[in-house]
Amino acid sequence: MPRTNGSVVGTQVEDTRICVVMVGLPARGKSLIAGKIVRYLRWLSVDARSFNVGTYRRQDTPQPTADFFDTSNKEGERMRRAAAEAAVKDMLKWFSQEKGTVAILDATNSTRARRRWIAETVSAHKIEVMFVESKCDDEDLIMGNIMEVKTTSPDYRGQDPEVAARDFRDRIRNYEKVYETITETDYTYVKLINVGTQVVINCIQDYLQSRIVYFLMNLHIKPRSIWLSRHGESMFNLEGKIGGDADLSPRGMRYAEVLPELCRQSGILPEQGITVWTSTLKRTIQTSQHLPYNKLQWKALDELDSGTCDGLTYEDIEEQFPEDFRARDDDKYNYRYRGGESYRDLVIRLEPIIMEMERQENVMVVTHQAVIRCIYAYFMNVPQDRSPWMEIPLHTVIKLTPKAYGTKEERFKANIPAVSTFRPKYSSAKHQEADSPDVNELSVKMNV
Ligand SMILES: O=P(O)(O)OC[C@H]1O[C@@](CO)(OP(=O)(O)O)[C@@H](O)[C@@H]1O
């Protein structure tokens, strides 16, 4: 399978391979950061995978006590080293056999000796090594992580939470005895101090590394939510036409009127600082007109460009361009409209939006069907073969709340009917009337 990072990220050289090595004491959010890097890169079509050394260690030692992590425990040391070796071996196999591009080695890697061993072993295979250290002295953040670990880690499954928390603190103390922060100036590294507060960068070598660094620089872990809504039903939606710059229909106008109340019910408080982002197209601007918040228009949030098909219905396209119609159903993510865009193109256009969303706290985005699918796919980790086929109904607010290990999703529907613009794969090109939902019907789910 050809590697795609060259074509997608732009100027990346074809054969770049990077091993991102996490560094830091337990409960510093390393696995969370590793997971976010993987999600971001996969969304950009860069083949990325995390190798968690704890998972390898658990094969032999599923529920060790804190003494196992004491460096004077020779057997513990041997087994921990064996787990790291097994993870690195699998990672190298993934690079060579599955042609992976970015691997994350998720472990504490907290001593100079361990880092030297990894750097030497990995660079011998012509794979770049980049250390990412998470350093944190904010007691609240650490406590939050300890609570998370003791309730979710398989190391403590079935144990009394108080005993688990005490043992986990002892484990941290054992690591603290030997922990050496990164100061090796000949290595490429990024040191994140209290995530989102201070970043130290050393010897970044190329484009893909700099993308990862930039992403890490924008991360923060303050609690916040993201609200997504399509514009209200448009005149084009009513007629089944795609693209264009139509006004809202009378029902779409009613959605715009109830949107402030729907937002309030979904948890946006009037005194809360929130910015509403729209596209530059009339239907999103009209939809947000009654929202009493600061607004910002982004060209990057405009709908997928349907090129020569702009203004046609799906039936017209099926009739006038039958081969294109079929090709789009065969591979909707990669299909590029003649003179227009594909979902793959749209993701690249949306990358600065995602970066900015990571940086922001509460934000509401009023945009279009295809654009919401791409943003939603990023936050909810939806693969490319499914993301263009997701149902994103009109007149519905989707609230996403990032949590430590997943994103919580809630949907709030307005009691205003609208057409459905969803057309399932290989189905006849007809648009239908959507069911009239109950007032503010709510659904909640978590992706983990
Ligand atoms: O990729 P598909 O499923 O065609 O969905 C994108 C289409 O959604 C539409 C509606 O059919 O978005 P929008 O409601 O913003 O106008 C089209 O303009 C756009 O081409």
| Residue of 228, 230, 303 to test ligand 1 pocket, by largest number of atoms within 8 Å of CB | 303
| pLDDT score at 143 | 86
Known binding-site residue numbers for substrate? 230-237, 283
Whether pLDDT at 437 is above 80: no
| pLDDT score at 438 | 39
Is 106 a catalytic site residue?
A: yes
CA dist 44 and 6 (Å) reads 11
| pLDDT score at 151 | 75
Instruction: Tell how far the Cα of 240 is from the centroid of ligand 1, in angstroms.
Output: 9
Of the residues 106, 167, 351, 409, only one is catalytic, namely: 106
Specify the amino acid at residue 84: A
First to last CA, the chain: 28
Instruction: Tell how far the Cα of 127 is from the centroid of ligand 1, in angstroms.
Output: 42
CA dist 35 and 401 (Å) reads 16
Query: In whole angstroms, how far apart are CA 149 and each of 119, 257, 441, 446?
Result: 28, 44, 34, 18
Give percent above pLDDT 70 in the chain: 92
pLDDT in tens, 282-297: 999 999 999 999 999 9
| pLDDT score at 7 | 42
For the segment 396-407, the average pLDDT, to the nearest whole number, is 88
CA dist 87 and 21 (Å) reads 12
Domain boundaries, the chain: 18-218, 226-436
CA dist 85 and 57 (Å) reads 10
Instruction: Tell how far the Cα of 314 is from the centroid of ligand 1, in angstroms.
Output: 10
Window from 218-227, 228-237, 399-408 with minimum mean pLDDT: 399-408
Topology annotation, domain 226-436 = Rossmann fold (3.40.50)
Helix (H, G, I), strand (E, B) or coil at 167: helix
Q: Does CATH number 3.20.20.70 belong to domain 18-218?
A: no
400 lines ligand 1 (CB under 6 A): no
Whether pLDDT at 318 is above 60: yes
Whether pLDDT at 3 is above 50: no
Highest mean predicted confidence (pLDDT) among 101-105, 158-162, 204-208: 101-105
Instruction: Tell how far the Cα of 312 is from the centroid of ligand 1, in angstroms.
Output: 11
Asked whether this chain's domains 18-218 and 226-436 adopt the same fold, the reply is: yes
287 lines ligand 1 (CB under 6 A): no
The overall average pLDDT reported for the chain is: 91
| pLDDT score at 15 | 81
Specify the amino acid at residue 332: K
For the segment 92-105, the average pLDDT, to the nearest whole number, is 97
Atom of ligand 1 nearest to the CA of 421: 11
| pLDDT score at 444 | 62
pLDDT in tens, 421-431: 999 998 866 54
pLDDT in tens, 125-183: 999 999 999 999 888 888 888 887 777 788 999 999 889 999 999 999 999 999 999 99
| pLDDT score at 214 | 96
Q: Which residues contact 83 (CB under 8 A, 6 or more apart)?
A: 53, 54, 56, 57, 59, 60
pLDDT in tens, 172-185: 999 999 999 999 99
Window from 88-92, 373-377, 435-439 with minimum mean pLDDT: 435-439
